[in-house]
Amino acid sequence: MRQAIYAWDYLEWGGAQIHLFAIIREVKKHFRVSVVLPTGSDPKVLKFIDDLGVERHFFDGAIETKPQVGIRGIIRSRVKKLRTEYREMRKIAELRPDGVIHLDLLPHYSLLPLMWACLYAEVFITSHNRMPEVGWLREAVWKFKCSVISRFRNFHVFCSNEDARSYFARQYSKRTADDIQVTYTSMNPDEIAPIAEDRSIRQRYRNLVGLRAEEKAFLCVGNFIDRKGRWVFLEAARLAARENVSLRFVWLSPLAADEAAAERIASYRLGDRFRLVLSDEIGKERKDVLGFFTLADVFVLPSFIEGLPVALLEAMALGVPAISANVNAIPEAVMHEETGLLVQPGDADALAKAMLRLADDKKLASQLAQAGKLHVIEHFDERVVACKVLASYLAALGNTTG
């Protein structure tokens, strides 16, 4: 049986890992699966891997995912990145890959590791978001790097949404671009169904955060960072709370706010109307996270940059109506006034009005929730996606697994 290796080089985790874990559930039936990740990774991620019943292997170091300030900081970060990627690839080489290597890397930033991987096996990457806008020179460098990696016929690209596919198809050579497949970010209906049916779960988590029966909860999920629209959400919360005293606002994050962020949160004067909940507070199982989503009356995604987040799809599949910023791939799931509401990114006033609209119009909220649920279950089933990925692996290997 051939080997399938999955690897990333950072400590933070989220939708990209959940997406890969869904693929691994199917792939492990046909491949020996190993996950390669940095030493010091979150115990929750390790438990997910152990629950899958696959091997995990560690390398020292992890890249900096936060922007660095100053020349020294930038140079130090880049040196650390080079060392980390070298150690990551050495660890992969030690495993003697003979099948598939699926990396969370982009040639725009990590051309050499991808070329190195192509010496060993069929190499796949998954791109979730289009690249940020940059000057013409950097754009030219990126396209050159993509043209270089495109020369390797054993290099393959997945995109987790159509928006990303349309962008990256312009970056690679025609052969590679034509080969790009959309393997949607998705959810598992088998995990969703029992949670959606058990109403006691909703009450348990509402009690956990102190929500009363008459209060309506607006939930955000993800790292509490600027890119996720945290201050837009809080400003919208402040505006909406002035109009409706029964509204409450919750943000589920893997990390706590630092001192500066805590001070800024206080400046919105929401008091106990806003609660930043850490994922450690709600449990260590996937079902705990999904159960927590059910406390919400509305799911909110105020991000400035976003692919197609698993959390959004899972909330919609659970029957929670959604409001989202109209960015990147979001309209592939949230169609305005059909499967949810869309607002322009950064527009706190529009977000507040959308919140109030769903709080006041129960019929609309119910219609959007039902339509959103049906749309997600029909189009974003992780089992279908995993089978599509597996088929691509087998095709690349000539339909043999050892």
Bridge partners, 371 (sequence order):
none
Dist. CA 100–CA 58, nearest whole Å: 18
**Do 127 and 197 sit in the same domain of this protein?**
no
In this prediction the pTM is: 0.90
- Assigned domain for 66 exists: yes
Rounded average pLDDT over 172-194: 95
CATH number where 95 lies? 3.40.50.2000
The beta-carbon contacts of 341-350 under 8 Å, at least 24 apart in sequence, are 341/368, 345/229, 345/232, 345/302, 345/303, 345/304, 346/229, 346/232, 346/304, 347/232, 348/232, 348/235, 348/236, 348/239, 349/236, 349/239
Tokens of 51: 């629950």
Angle between helices 107-118 and 136-149 (to 10 degrees): 10
* pLDDT tens track for 19-54: 999 999 999 999 999 999 999 999 989 999 999 999
Count of domains for the chain: 2
- Assigned domain for 82 exists: yes
**Do 157 and 209 sit in the same domain of this protein?**
no
Among 62-71, 142-151, 189-198, 270-279, where is mean pLDDT lowest? Answer: 62-71
Position 402 scores a pLDDT of 46
Rounded average pLDDT over 287-299: 96
- Assigned domain for 44 exists: yes
CA atoms within 13 Å, Cβ hemisphere of 393? 31
Q: Is the pLDDT of residue 379 over 70?
A: yes
Rounded average pLDDT over 365-379: 97
C-beta of residue 334 within 8 angstroms of C-beta of residue 320: no
**Do 179 and 266 sit in the same domain of this protein?**
no
**Do 159 and 256 sit in the same domain of this protein?**
no
* pLDDT tens track for 131-173: 999 999 999 999 999 999 999 999 999 999 999 999 999 999 9
Domain that holds residue 243: 189-379
Nearest to 351 by CA among 312, 388, 298, 289: 298
Burial degree of 398 (CB within 10 A; 0-12, 13-18, 19+) = exposed
**Do 342 and 369 sit in the same domain of this protein?**
yes
**Do 180 and 214 sit in the same domain of this protein?**
no
